Structure 1
Amino acid sequence: MQTGDVLIVGEDICQQVVGRKDAFDAVEAVFGAMARGDAYNFPVIREAIGYADALYGFKSGFDRAGQVLGLKSGGYWPGNMEKGLTNHQSTVCLFDPDTGRLSALVGGNYLTAVRTAASSSVSIAHLARRDAKVLGMVGAGHQSAFQLRAAVEQRDFDKVVAWNPHPEMLPRLAAVAEELGLAFGAVIPEELGAQADVIITITSAFEPLVMTDWIKPGTHVACMGTDTKGKQEVDPALLAKAAVFTDEVAQSVSIGEAQHAVARGMISQDDITPIGAVINGDHAGRTNPDQITLFDGTGVGLQDLAVASVAARLAQEQGLAGHAAL
């Protein structure tokens, strides 16, 4: 790449070069760097723009260990599906940390999906019981298929049970399970809790969909849908009962699933452990087979920057990236 050139990596190229293993490794590494203090997320901006019912904002940060600086700009447009587009739209801007020069523009839609799935997958790898056999899915939207594919690579699951507020969406998830060679069952939430060893919640709910009494001992729960003030997927009492881990504590208590338990005084931020501490070996993670573990995946900017950096590097190495001169 010539000095002054900016790499352009579109959505199709991102899908071509970044696989689940690439995303897992990038996200795991950046979580570890965050816990060591080698990587920093900057304050999130996320606002309703008063047009098209859209939410729009910025996530940014600097990974000193990985030498990655940048931001993701984008948001949620609820009417996009009717236009043949995904509701989440975003672009990642990467900058040279030595000069501040824009170095790459990377499509963020596929990468957002694959990095979110990688985040829950990392939590399963480090916190779920080794003998977990049944995966529970709460939610059957666009992101759920990414979650399912990533999760099954971490444990030897033989069955998927799922529930969605709109049951007509479940056949799509069932098709993915069949493709993966897994039995599939559409169940009510109580039954999902009774069967599942690992549960992933990936909805846009603003009320608890999973109650504490439904969760059996030893379950690992990855709450992946709550990333905004007011959103909620599980009973706050579940966080008081579980060992709670997160990507970033500050986001967990403000916009993540933990916001409700903290607001009610059920837990404090000191009760929440960064998953990077487990990755780095500074925290034991799960301490006994019957312990309920919960991962509050709020989605941090450094995840986006990590996978975008991988996409830019691989696209350049494979001669697939476009170039633009500034």
Structure 2
Amino acid sequence: MYIVPEKDIAALVGAEDSFEAVRQVFGAMAAGSAYNFPVIREAIGHADALYGFKSGFDRQGLNLGLKSGGYWPGNTAKGLTNHQSTVFLFDAETGKCRAIVGGNLLTALRTAAAAAVSVACLARVNARVLGIVGAGHQAAFQLRAVAAQRRFERVVAWNRSPEKLASLGAVARELGLDFEAVSLQELGAQADVIITITSSYAAILADAHVKPGTHIACMGTDTKGKQEVEAALVARASLFTDEVAQSVSIGECQHAIAAGLVAPDAIAMLGAVINRTHPGRQSDDEITLFDGTGVGLQDLAVAATAVQRAIEQGRAIEVAF
């Protein structure tokens, strides 16, 4: 069995690797050759933590395993990342544990990659302004990954605590993009692509904020009750997701479904666009929305890439198990 520690992940896997791994997973899921098992996510009654498991099997990539972890809100004060995860990979032929992989950076990379794939598939080709709602740990990963998918010229951003936008502005300038902190109304009026990446339990982005032709990637809603955008905006958009079952139960679409504004069969899998069995965006005025709920198969695919690289580079720790 191999162990790939968290400290080595950054040297093994980058944004481009994650993009390709996640893109393959989306296509395999839509083709029916990969599937996720039911998600377990629970409050443990200690440290205000949420803990759970995401798992699945990809027959195409032969990736079998699970990600175990969750959210510990007090970790920042301890000098740790609030999200803590570990990925376990198993041999699909024998069931033996093949690898244990540090999952914190992998989670950030695969989440950003999912948004980037949605932009590559659904955003207008002439998109020039990128809007970001949220400025937490994940926001910079989103900015770096998504910025590579279109010829963006500027970034507009909003956060509940505006002072936290400074670090995001530094990343934008590093990428050669103009940056401006704006109101939500200004963000919606200017942005051609909007990424929401918050942990909100109440709608932030309103239907009235968003102009025709916008692509929205909702990346923060992964738990029952969470919400980043108004249900009316979800109802106005053409809807795509990673996993329909999660979208209607724990994703951004849960609220529009509960209100009777959207039917589950109106939500398409992003992989169908990749496989060319769905046309994707059909006009420049169409609003498209990707509900990125986060699926275990994404973690497994990126972790498998990390393990392969670690073996090739002599970084993997091999132990008898």
TM-score by length of 2: 1.00
* 2:79 aligned residue: 84
* 1:151 aligned residue: 146
Task: Choose the corresponding residue for 1:8, options 3, 23, 26.
Answer: 3
SS at match of 1:150: helix
* 1:3 aligned residue: none
SS at match of 1:142: coil
Give every structure 1 segment of 4 or more consecutive aligned residues whose post-TM-superposition deviation is greater than 4 Å.
none
5 Å-filtered alignment, 1:110-125, equals 110-125=105-120
* 1:220 and 2:215 matched: yes
Q: Deviations over 1:10-66 (max 9, x none)?
A: 112111110111000000000000000000100000000000000000000000010
Equivalent AA in structure 1 for residue 309 of structure 2: L
Residue 317 of structure 1 deviates from its aligned partner by 0.9
* 2:61 aligned residue: 66
Query: What is the distance in 1 between the residues matched to 2:167 and 2:200?
Result: 20
* 2:197 aligned residue: 202
Query: What is the distance in 2 between the residues matched to 1:166 and 1:316?
Result: 43
* 1:57 and 2:52 matched: yes
* 1:24 aligned residue: 19
SS at match of 2:16: helix
- Structure 1, unaligned runs of 5 or more: 1-5
Equivalent AA in structure 2 for residue 281 of structure 1: R
* 2:288 aligned residue: 293
Q: Deviations over 1:245-279 (max 9, x none)?
A: 00000000000000000000000110000000000
Query: What is the distance in 1 between the residues matched to 2:107 and 2:19?
Result: 13
- Contact between 1:69 and 1:97, CA under 8 Å: does it hold in 2? yes
TM-score by length of 1: 0.98
Q: Deviations over 1:84-119 (max 9, x none)?
A: 000000000000000000000000000000000000
5 Å-filtered alignment, 1:123-138, equals 123-138=118-133
Residue 323 of structure 1 deviates from its aligned partner by 1.3
Task: Choose the corresponding residue for 2:158, options 163, 167, 175.
Answer: 163
- Structure 2, unaligned runs of 5 or more: none
* 1:184 and 2:179 matched: yes
* 1:233 and 2:221 matched: no
* 2:266 aligned residue: 271
Equivalent AA in structure 2 for residue 203 of structure 1: T
Residue 244 of structure 1 deviates from its aligned partner by 0.4
The two structures, once aligned, show a CA RMSD in angstroms of 0.5
Query: What is the distance in 1 between the residues matched to 2:73 and 2:163?
Result: 19
- Contact between 1:206 and 1:233, CA under 8 Å: does it hold in 2? yes
SS at match of 1:97: coil
Query: What is the distance in 1 between the residues matched to 2:172 and 2:56?
Result: 36
- Contact between 1:198 and 1:221, CA under 8 Å: does it hold in 2? yes
Percent of aligned pairs sharing the same letter: 67
Equivalent AA in structure 2 for residue 90 of structure 1: S
* 1:310 and 2:305 matched: yes
Equivalent AA in structure 2 for residue 244 of structure 1: L
Provide the aligned length of Structure 1 versus Structure 2: 321
- Contact between 1:13 and 1:321, CA under 8 Å: does it hold in 2? no
